[in-house]
Structure 1
Amino acid sequence: MKKAAAILLSVLLLASCAPNKNDELVQNKDSKEKKETPSIVPSYQLSDSTYKIILPFRPSKARGVIDNQIANRVDIDELEEGLKRHSTDEFSPDDYYFEEGQYLTEDMVYDWLGRNLTKKQIDKEVKETADKKRKEGYTVDEQEIRDGLQNGLNPPIAEDAKEKDYRDHPRYLSHILEQDYLRKKDDDTVELAGISIGLALKSVYRFQTEIGGPYYYEKIPKAEMEKNGKEIAQKVVDRVRKIKGLKNVPIVIALYREEAQDSPVAGDFVSKTIVDEGETQIGKWNKIDEKHVLFPSDNAKKNHFDDNQAIKSFGDDIAKYFPNYVGIVGEGFYVNKDLQRLTIRVPIEFYGKSEVTGFTQYAYGLIQEKFPEHYDLEVQISSNEKLESLITREKGDKKPVVHILH
């Protein structure tokens, strides 16, 4: 990559003074501001795929928007963590620091997530705004007013729209997530080296035709969602390139398909692309083959029979010896149809710590018998919604690790 847009973060490597041998930095975001804020970069990296984060932590400029736009908590988590995962291909955690988005503001994101306006709506708004400004004695540029009214990235819809109009013109875009990736330079400063943008797109559109009226639901086919998502992505790139500091940096864009609002498992990323530094046009999109699968389910039984049988057998063996057992819920994460991670939640009623220990020991043995070692595994054992014990095993490991909580 060529030289990226530098942000004014001065880095002082004061290892002898820094706690836990972290790198200590001095941040100064505004060249006109003389006051410097001391910060650190932790020296310890949790894993090869985990980014170091500059502290003190600076929240996103659009903080809180995601909670208002995406109803399902599991989708929120997967959008955030999955975008980081897909950013590692372009921004290696060995060489880059992570920071939440500092360029797309709350007002900007809400503005972009709205609907565009119909011609009739725009003409009405332009006239009303222009008349008001003239009465107040201002010089009026109607074209400037018109341009400022066309920021919504979702399809326009008439004010007197009927149910069919809403179904034919759904809100595809739920959220725009920005993540920033920083790189340390030879002169001990840190520069913005690139950004990633995740576009959250609906699989089910929920709407009302009138305030207080009933909710309607419209399923959005994946192909239709992806087509509109790619068109929206190009518009986002056009706008991002006009933001100060983002004209030349590489941009990773990934499309995320949300699950239904009540889904117990997350949705999935479906495609991504990279816009090289200084470029404005999106070229080739790369397909992403990922899937979160619920166990038990018809989908799991049909498409992941062996894994479904292993989980079913695990539950059947538990039921033989523990009468308080009520069933298990599993979630598998597949990449290119290969299982990468399996999470199993076991709710069971316990009456003492000895029961917890005994059950955990039994589950530990079953795990070694029934689940292969070529994926990450986590078994969460809970009672009355309280986590009692945790059994984990990383891909390739022979023996699981057990944690009994006290």
Structure 2
Amino acid sequence: MEVIALKKLKVFLAIASSALILGGCGLGNLSSRPSSNNGTQLTGHANNSNYQSVIKHGHYLTSKSRGVDVQQDANQLNLKSFENGLLDLSKKEFPTNKYIFQEGQHISTKTTEHWLDRKSQNSQGLNPSGKETKVPLYLQQMDEQDFLTQHGKHLKLSGMTVGLGINSIYYYKKKKYGPTYKKSISNATVKAEGHKIGAKVLARLRRKPGLKHIPIVIGLYRQGSDDSLVGGNFFAYSVNKGSSIDGWKPIDERNYVFPSNSGDKGKHANDANDFSNFKSRVQNFFPNLSGVTAQAHYINGSLSGMHVNITTQFYSQTEIIAFTQYLQTAAKKYLPSGMPIDITVKSTEGVQSFLARKSGSKSFSAHVFNSY
């Protein structure tokens, strides 16, 4: 079995992609924090679309399960899409104005590693026994999110969401240092294995102290391939009050790359054409561009957000400023209206500017990073 690895995402990727999905998050007023007798504080609300988070003894509590993978995940977009999608799923069941967010504290790193193992190698393993070359590893990653409510001066655990990343393609080696082979896993198998693993995870969680009676949401995520430019997507979730799954609700979410190499724009042709017009105008106006691409996110067939990445060959600060100003006008005119969009401008030297528009807004805010 491949060595379990702790993944580290690039700082700016986290900031840029979170701007679209999370709407921007920061420390708020701490004056409304619970009593500091136990060293607990809240970050406060930056806006109503985000949770307040917990700080204990002056430190933010990081997740114990996030970033632990059963195999080395070559596509870090899977990790970010998984995190952001899980948070969006949580917001459906645990409203931001009623619950306080805390990174998962009940599934330890060691437990996560055991659960991601093959059953033949660890009695707690949720992946099936069998030879690496014949039997796929289905469960790739998992993450826990905790949701608390405030009762006087105390915080109480009142809900939990657990995301399970299920492989759609299994990568393996026949020899330790040999070539990598891959095996496709059908959607039907991804669904069936996800349901099976989700039921086992829920039953195990209910045996833990403090988790017997809270609502627990289990989300199932289909991992994208290693060469995917958009990562994967959640396809089902279950909201549970007991020890058995209360049924699965389907999630219709898809991620696409513009421009499309397949030539089949399908029912998203209008959005693809809008982006094509934007790209053409931008490239005609500023020739020193290496690439203009977009990652579009759809929910129930409708565009819900877009990440635009522009790679430049600019070196002058005045060029960057002028280009960013032009983008504010061009994006407003040519890109789809109504939904959140962020635009990252970067070169080999790093990020040069960043633009973002919130849902419902008409104009883009922008920031140009100084080159010194």
Q: TM-score, normalised by structure 1?
A: 0.78
Superimposed CA distance per residue, residues 248-276 of structure 1 (whole angstroms, 9 cap, x where no aligned partner): 11110000011112322121000001111
* Structure 1 counterpart of 2:146: 180
Partners of 2:33 and 2:338 lie apart in 1 by 39
Amino acid at match of 1:42: T
- The alpha-carbon deviation at position 65 of structure 1 amounts to 1.9
Contact (CA 8 Å) 2:356, 2:365: kept in 1 or not? yes
1:210 aligns with 2:183: no
The structure having more radius of gyration, on CA atoms, is 1
Q: Residue 22 of structure 1 contacts residue 40 of structure 1 at CA under 8 Å; is this kept in 2?
A: no
Give 1:97's aligned residue.
100
Post-superposition offset of 1:243 = 1.1
Partner of 1:151: 124
The question of whether the paired residues in 1 share the 8 Å contact of 2:165 and 2:220 is answered with yes
Q: Which runs of 5+ in 2 are unaligned?
A: 1-27
Whole-Å separation in 2 of the counterparts to 1:401 and 1:210: 52
Contact 1:87 1:196 in 2 (8 A): yes
Quick one: distance in 2 between partners of 1:314 and 1:353? Answer: 23
Counterpart in 1 of 2:365?
401
After superposition, where does 1:20-169 map in structure 2 within 5 Å?
Answer: 20-26=29-35, 37-43=38-44, 45-55=45-55, 56-62=59-65, 64-66=67-69, 70-117=73-120, 150-157=123-130, 161=131, 163=133, 166=134, 169=135
How far apart, CA to CA, are the structure 1 residues paired with 2:154 and 2:74?
A: 39
Would you say the 8 A contact 2:290–2:312 is kept in 1?
yes
Query: Structure 1, residues 347-370: CA drift from partner, whole Å, max 9, x if none?
Result: 111131221222223222222221
User: What amino acid maps onto 1:405 in structure 2?
Assistant: F
By how many angstroms is 1:405 displaced?
2.1
Cα pair distance change 1:374/1:222, threshold 3 Å = same
Q: Is residue 2:228 matched to residue 1:263?
A: yes
Shift of 1:26: 4.9
- For structure 1, which runs of at least 5 residues remain unmatched after alignment? 1-18, 28-35, 122-148
Q: How much has 1:400 moved relative to structure 2?
A: 2.0
CA contact (8 A) 1:173 1:199 kept: yes
* Matched residue type, 1:288: I
Q: Deviation of residue 330 (structure 1)?
A: 0.5
Question: Aligned with 1:95: secondary structure?
Answer: coil
Q: Give the CA deviation at 1:20.
A: 4.3
Equivalents in 1 of 2:113, 2:168: separation in Å? 20
TM-aligned CA deviation for residue 66 of structure 1: 4.5
Give the residue type in structure 2 aligned to 1:372.
Answer: P
- Structure 1 CA distance, aligned partners of 2:317 and 2:70? 37
| Aligned amino acid, residue 61 of structure 2 | R
Given the superposition, is the C-alpha separation of residues 398 and 107 from structure 1 closer, same or farther in structure 2, using an over 3 Å criterion?
Answer: closer
Distance 1:378 1:89 in 2: 23
Q: Report the count of equivalent residues.
A: 339
1:207-246 to structure 2, matched below 5 A, reads 207-246=172-211
Q: Distance in 2 between matches of 1:63 and 1:102?
A: 10
Secondary structure class of the residue paired with 2:195: helix
SS at match of 1:374: coil
Name the aligned partner's letter for residue 22 of structure 1.
Answer: S
Contact 2:71/2:140, CA 8 A, preserved across alignment: no
Q: Distance in 1 between matches of 2:39 and 2:132?
A: 56
- The verdict on how the C-alpha distance between 1:377 and 1:302 changes in structure 2, with shifts beyond 3 A counting, is same
Instruction: Report the residue type matching 1:178 in the other structure.
Output: E
Q: Which residue does 1:316 correspond to in 2? A: 280
Match of 1:364 in 2: 328
For residues 33 and 336 of structure 2, the distance between their equivalents in structure 1, rounded to whole angstroms, comes to 43
Report deviation, 1:21: 4.5
Residues 230-255 of structure 1: CA deviation (Å, up to 9, x unaligned) = 01111111111111111111110000
In structure 2, how many angstroms separate the alpha carbons of the residues matched to 1:321 and 1:396? Answer: 28
User: Is 1:292 matched up with 2:255?
Assistant: yes
| CA spacing shift, 1:95–1:243, aligned 2, 3 Å | same
Counterparts of 1:352 and 1:377, CA distance in 2: 26
| Cα RMSD, aligned residues only | 2.2
Q: After the TM superposition, which segments of 4 or more aligned residues of structure 1 sit over 6 Å from their partners? A: none
CA 1:25–1:69 in 2, change beyond 3 Å: closer, same or farther?
farther
TM-score by length of 2: 0.85
Q: Does the Cα contact within 8 Å between 2:168 and 2:190 map onto a contact in 1?
A: yes
1:191 is displaced (CA, Å) by: 0.8
Closer, same or farther: CA 113–376 of 1 in aligned 2, 3 Å: same
Q: Secondary structure at the match of 1:88?
A: helix
